[in-house]
Structure 1
Amino acid sequence: MSKTATLVLEDGTTFTGLLFGADVSVSGEVVFQTGMVGYPEALTDPSYRCQLLTLTYPLVGNYGIPNDEEGEFGLSKWFESSKIHAAALIIGELSDSPSHWSSVKSLDQWLKEQGVPGIQGIDTRCLTKKIREKGTMLGKLVVDGTPEDSVPFDNPDKRNLVQEVSMKEPRVFNPSGSLQITVVDCGIKYNQIRCLAQRGARVTVVPWDHPLDSKDFDGLFISNGPGDPQLCQTTIDNVRKVVCVENPKPVFGICLGHQLLSLVIGSKTYKMNRASTKGQTAASSPVKTTASPSTPTLPKDWDVLFTNANDHTNEGIVHNTKPLFSVQFHPEHMAGPTDLVSLFDVFLDTVKDHKDGNAAKTVKQRLMDRLTYPGSTKHEEVFRPRKVLILGSGGLSIGQAGEFDYSGSQAIKALKEENIQTVLINPNIATVQTSKGLADKVYFLPLTPEYVTQVIKNERPDGVLLTFGGQTALNCGVELTKLGVLEKYKVKVLGTPVAPSR
């Protein structure tokens, strides 16, 4: 029979589940990650040092664990460091039958070998919601039979975790590379080294407190890492000596490196009110328990490069004229997506031109050129509707899929959050879409051109959504277009245009 374990939060909340992995009790900071894949990479990411990592995806371990084989530049092919750094793993359900061509062992076996415990069978959604609402929490995983009081809460913020995970001696990767890049290891992920070396750089990785001299490199890279950046004062002082000069060499920072560069230039970072860890995109950060400066705290000649679309915190900064920039998220994230890995190209192109004495284009301009789509609509030209008509899901019978009903109800909620008035036409009273208080106004009418035209005449919406009512709604939208009704009443089709629906 499987052994049980209990996750105890510092506010007294408990979650009981089944133990897997190592039979040991641990404590640390509870964080979560919303990625659907990438648990081998996440667990070996040094940024998760001393953290109890919660994965919100419902089934984990289904593709097993690959063999730790050497790949390019002598780096591990599948992992982000030489060992698991997370203190524990918290999941909803563990797959006991992994299936993948590269799998050599189960997640349970791997955790046992590494001495890391895991707990499954708890409500990870409830746990995640609590962390998001209540803020970052300390926690401890207590194995059944172990006195709870014997496992004290451990606050990792009181320790210099960077010092614990950083390498002790300098190490060179791709020694034949043409560009000399010095990397300050604050808890670096292997793929950051790989991204630099693959682009022709000779990468010298140095410890977190290694003295820096601009004569030793063509460009400086500051890595990710765990813990509070304020505890890395030695790193801050070293970086300041090569950054705060008249003509600095190019610098690129990621995650903790972004926070350290922010502190170097005189901005402030702060502990966020939640331990939010998400998949890498331009709008989010894989490891983000500390936020960097907002626009008002940036010094003169610095500008915001990225802003988080969800919480409006800073995700990147760039100097207006000097070759200095950093991002909070991970463009090199191994589990994907890789849409912004091109930031490494921008960095190394800048390094090369700076080395050659070609400073015709600033790094800020390079980033704008790389990140701006030539045909994109300007923000001020984006159409924002005042009132939107939604053609609903129509009749649903028992056993029939209700995805249009669900997605349509989510669309209504999203529109209301943007203060856009919603009008719904749906002939079926027994749907989520027609719930009281969801849409601003509901018409229980058939989805036919005649009835919809009458509603348009009465309500005068300036936008319509055709994709939340199945084929019936699409056919109705096509007919309204052919009849010229939408053009006559100046109703713009939102989302998928009519042409592909025909």
Structure 2
Amino acid sequence: MKRQLILEDGTVFVGKAFGADVDRMGEVVFNTGMTGYQEVLSDPSYCGQIVTLTYPLIGNYGINRDDFESITPAISGFVVKEVAEMPSNWRSEITLDEYFKQNNIPGIAGIDTRKLTRIIRQHGTLKGAITSMEKKPEEVIESLKAAVLPTDQVKKVSTKKAYPSPGRGSRVVLVDFGMKHGILRELNKRDCDVVVVPYNVTAQEILNLSPDGIMLSNGPGNPKDVPQAIEMIKGVQGKVPLFGICLGHQLFALANNANTEPLKFGHRGSNHPVRDLETGKIAITSQNHGYAVEDASLENTPLEVTHVALNDGTIEGLKHKEYPAFTVQYHPEASPGPEDANGLFDKFINMIETAKAEGEKQCQNVQI
């Protein structure tokens, strides 16, 4: 069965249908990773987007139970050059086609994904729709031009209630803006006593949990669409060590009077080089974001740039000049991608231990 991918600029691709037999609209983006499609399709940061994979063969190792980054995928659609119908891997349980049918997500294969990627790189991210062949392209194009994409993606993918992930180490409150499970796994590895809380948690609600540290997760969309999180960060920074990733990094910048801006086509893939300005070392990182912190806006803020992207010079890391707080735009938990930057979780734990030791020392001085 055939299916169409139609872009708002008038481009029409006709390909082979797989997955659910439904029509979907969304922002069309591309990911340059060569592996890790299961982690990509289950990353909540892709909420509402139609994801194009530039690697030509997808689905060849199937879908397994272990590599998900969320329980329920939030993508609107999947675009590939070729989809494997007979995967071969000892962990494989079902095919990509079967998984998408289970989760009511449409896919389209057999189109020129290189051409699609070049269109996005040239014109910027575009609205698009995966539709049946019965739909008239001119009517779909008009509806795409008139469509206003949703701005409540974080609300859709965040947890609705706080829940614990117990450990015997430091208490970390993890604010879920669309959290990848990889972040939680890394904290659990370090025996942190984690409490995951919703995106709209208040500063006082977090402080009531007596945290030793606060983690701001990744998430979808424009950081300016989550104003309550910006106010929350203002209320907790300086009181508890803080580490932010991706959307958490952008929200941290906004909370400190910097600005964020949309990128032309975003950074999405597992092969993005980033330089650590302190050490000069370069890490190959996993990334997924459509916004970045505006460099010029950092003037007269208490923030300092710590990392930059080598591909385009955009800001990839920040730290507070006075408080124990730092953030990165990329994903140190990887999943998918290299784990070059995994040590940032250890840096966060060390920051927490230092703050706890200083607190104990101050208490002893008061008692004396």
Q: Deviations over 1:243-268 (max 9, x none)?
A: 2xxx4321110000000001000000
Partner SS state of residue 287, structure 2? coil
The alignment-based identity, stated in percent, is 37
- Residues 1:176 and 1:312: Cα distance change in structure 2 (over 3 Å): closer
1:500 matched to which residue of 2?
none
Q: Is 1:161 the counterpart of 2:153 in the alignment? A: yes
- Residues 1:339 and 1:172: Cα distance change in structure 2 (over 3 Å): same
1:104 matched to which residue of 2?
93
2:211 matched to which residue of 1?
217
Deviation at 1:130, TM superposition (A): 1.0
- 1:42 paired residue among 30, 40, 46: 40
Partner SS state of residue 278, structure 1? strand
Q: Deviations over 1:373-394 (max 9, x none)?
A: xxxxxxxxxxxxxxxxxxxxxx
1:52 matched to which residue of 2?
50
Asked if the contact 2:167–2:188 (Cα under 8 Å) also holds between the matched residues in 1, the reply is: no
Q: Is 1:270 the counterpart of 2:261 in the alignment? A: yes
The structure richer in strand per residue is 2
1:402 matched to which residue of 2?
none
Q: Deviations over 1:430-488 (max 9, x none)?
A: xxxxxxxxxxxxxxxxxxxxxxxxxxxxxxxxxxxxxxxxxxxxxxxxxxxxxxxxxxx
Partner SS state of residue 104, structure 1? coil
- Residues 1:233 and 1:349: Cα distance change in structure 2 (over 3 Å): same
1:187 matched to which residue of 2?
178
- Spell out the pairing of 1:352-431 with structure 2 (5 A cutoff): 352-357=353-358
1:334 matched to which residue of 2?
335
Deviation at 1:301, TM superposition (A): 3.8
Deviation at 1:359, TM superposition (A): 11
- RMSD across aligned positions (CA): 2.0
- 1:237 paired residue among 216, 231, 235: 231
2:115 matched to which residue of 1?
126
2:250 matched to which residue of 1?
259
**Larger gyration radius, structure 1 or structure 2:** 1
- Spell out the pairing of 1:445-456 with structure 2 (5 A cutoff): none
2:59 matched to which residue of 1?
61
Deviation at 1:293, TM superposition (A): 2.6
Deviation at 1:212, TM superposition (A): 2.2
1:375 matched to which residue of 2?
none
Q: Is 1:288 the counterpart of 2:289 in the alignment? A: yes
Asked if the contact 1:54–1:89 (Cα under 8 Å) also holds between the matched residues in 2, the reply is: yes
2:298 matched to which residue of 1?
297
Asked if the contact 1:132–1:276 (Cα under 8 Å) also holds between the matched residues in 2, the reply is: no
Deviation at 1:197, TM superposition (A): 1.4
Deviation at 1:287, TM superposition (A): 1.2
**Which gives a bigger RCO, structure 1 or 2 (Cα 8 Å, sep 6+)?**
2
Give, in whole Å, the separation in 1 of the partners of 2:350 and 2:271: 23
Asked if the contact 1:281–1:340 (Cα under 8 Å) also holds between the matched residues in 2, the reply is: no
Asked if the contact 1:281–1:339 (Cα under 8 Å) also holds between the matched residues in 2, the reply is: no
1:437 matched to which residue of 2?
none
Q: Deviations over 1:161-214 (max 9, x none)?
A: 1011101000100x2322110111100001101111111211101000011233
Instruction: Name the amino acid aligned to 1:352.
Output: E
Q: Is 1:141 the counterpart of 2:142 in the alignment? A: no
Asked if the contact 1:160–1:228 (Cα under 8 Å) also holds between the matched residues in 2, the reply is: no
Give, in whole Å, the separation in 1 of the partners of 2:70 and 2:148: 20
Matched residues, number: 345
Instruction: Name the amino acid aligned to 1:172.
Output: P
Give, in whole Å, the separation in 1 of the partners of 2:58 and 2:332: 24
- Residues 1:188 and 1:250: Cα distance change in structure 2 (over 3 Å): same
- Residues 1:138 and 1:212: Cα distance change in structure 2 (over 3 Å): same
